[in-house]
Amino acid sequence: MEFNSWRSGLASALLLLALCVSGCGRGESAPRPPQAKAETSASVAAPASAVLTTVEPPSAASPPSSAPAGPRPIKIGLLAPFSGFFAGVGTQMQGGVQAYLDQHGRSAAGHPIEVLARDTMGVEPELAKRLASELISKDQVDFLAGFALTPTALAVAPLATEARKPMVIMNAATSSLTTKSPYIVRFGFTLPQVTAPLATWAAKNGIESAYMLVSDLAAGLEAAAQFQKSFQAAGGKIVGSARTPLQNPDFMPFAKSIKEANPQAVFVFVPTGMQDISLMKAFKESGLLAAGVKVIATGDVTDDRQLPQIGDTALGIVTTHHYSVAHESPENDVFKAAFAKVTSGDFRPNFVAVAAYDGMAAMVRVIETLHGEIDGDRAMEVFKGMRMNSPRGPIYIDPQTRDIVQTVYVRKVERRADGPYNIEFDKVLDQSDPGK
């Protein structure tokens, strides 16, 4: 028994020695489970702090690499609402950016492109300012981009100036924005830019009186001022006006007031998102539409994404805007296919998505022109005078204002086999911002 016990102990000792030679000799104190692949690639509906490129950190068990480091990544900070009332705007914006990168590749001039998305949660200027500051100081981004609403863009503009970071506006539409920093360039639109053609069209097409209903923010006030100026200049009369709250508005009292004023038409601007649905519901339920008051509006009100949900209530509405998903061009067909791929075809792209797509294309052109060596002042010189064939049509950046010049289309909501669409029937070429 003692011999057998001794022999068993000796065998155990030899086994332990063999394990030590095979494992401990490499400096490993214990076997480790395999490290999971790290994915930071964001989907279109990703929350804040997402990165649109895939980043794979080296395994902890990998030996240090003696290979030289690759080209540094070009970083773009994307500030947009991915939660809250205006989350749909952020989803469109991120979808447009991702569609471009998926279509054209995630590098430029030999440098990988990283897009760091940050959630501004709607109308939160101080939050946007803090997030932008972190993107500049901590993440050391080369560009700031996005900006769904004017208040967030205004909060960040001084930081862009101080840090000399190009700031690419993809939606915020207040005319004066580009005057707030020499580093701002706009690839969306301005409210005066799309409102002036509507007022002129209305006066030329038998509308003699109008009521104005706009959201109570800077862009809305600019839209009302431009509509009144252009409409009266063409012989029209304004019979009343009102401003709606930016957040959680109740449109029913406004609809009733408009009905009582009995204008031929009501001019409307509300930010894109969910407000267009509740607005048109109030117009219908109040009897305003049945009373024969025509609705004329900026394209925000018949947003391509929301239009299927608004449904037949929107039929006949005339709007002016710079993009419709129904626009016929080879460039738009390519864009829509790329957008459908990254969103699984769950919803239509709208004007926010196309501005983000174009803004991303413009930043890539800057990167390539500067060979990946991004300097704020040199970057802005590349943006100035830039021309592109966009899915919406030809666009041009005015070198004096850094604002976009583009075609504005007159459209009417009509039903097609697969739902309502903004169908273009007239256009104004090379429309600049009359607010400057």
**Assigned token pair, 240:** 């009343």
- pLDDT at 274 (0 to 100): 67
Comparing 37-41, 78-82, 409-413, the range with the smallest average pLDDT is 37-41
* Same-fold call for 72-189+329-402 versus 192-321+409-431: yes
**Contact between residue 296 and residue 268 where contact means Cβ atoms under 8 Å apart:** yes
Give 192-321+409-431's CATH code, choosing from 3.40.50.2300, 3.20.20.60, 3.40.50.720, 3.40.50.300: 3.40.50.2300
Section 297-311 average pLDDT: 94
Q: Does the pLDDT of residue 51 top 60, yes or no?
A: no
Section 54-67 average pLDDT: 40
Cβ neighbors of 99 (< 8 A, separation 6 or more) are: 335, 338, 339, 341, 342, 349, 353, 357
- pLDDT at 93 (0 to 100): 97
Q: Does the pLDDT of residue 434 top 80, yes or no?
A: yes
Instruction: Read off the pLDDT of residues 117-128 as tens digits, 9 standing for 90 and up.
Output: 999 998 899 999
**Assigned token pair, 319:** 């709007």
Section 74-102 average pLDDT: 96
What is the percentage of the chain residues whose pLDDT exceeds 70?
A: 84
The confidence band for 68, taking pLDDT boundaries of 50, 70 and 90, is low
Can you give the length of the chain in residues?
A: 436
**Contact between residue 174 and residue 148 where contact means Cβ atoms under 8 Å apart:** no
Which CATH number is 72-189+329-402 given?
A: 3.40.50.2300
Strands 107-108 and 111-119: antiparallel
Q: Where along the chain do its domains lie?
A: 72-189+329-402, 192-321+409-431
**Contact between residue 403 and residue 395 where contact means Cβ atoms under 8 Å apart:** no
**Contact between residue 182 and residue 155 where contact means Cβ atoms under 8 Å apart:** no
Place of tokens 């947003």: 303
Instruction: Read off the pLDDT of residues 365-379 as tens digits, 9 standing for 90 and up.
Output: 999 999 999 999 999
Question: 117, 132, 121: which is closest to 40 by C-alpha?
Answer: 117
Q: pTM value?
A: 0.84
Cβ neighbors of 190 (< 8 A, separation 6 or more) are: 173, 174, 175, 219, 222, 403, 433, 435
Instruction: Read off the pLDDT of residues 131-168 as tens digits, 9 standing for 90 and up.
Output: 999 999 999 999 999 999 999 999 999 999 999 999 99
Comparing 11-20, 84-93, 188-197, 265-274, the range with the smallest average pLDDT is 11-20
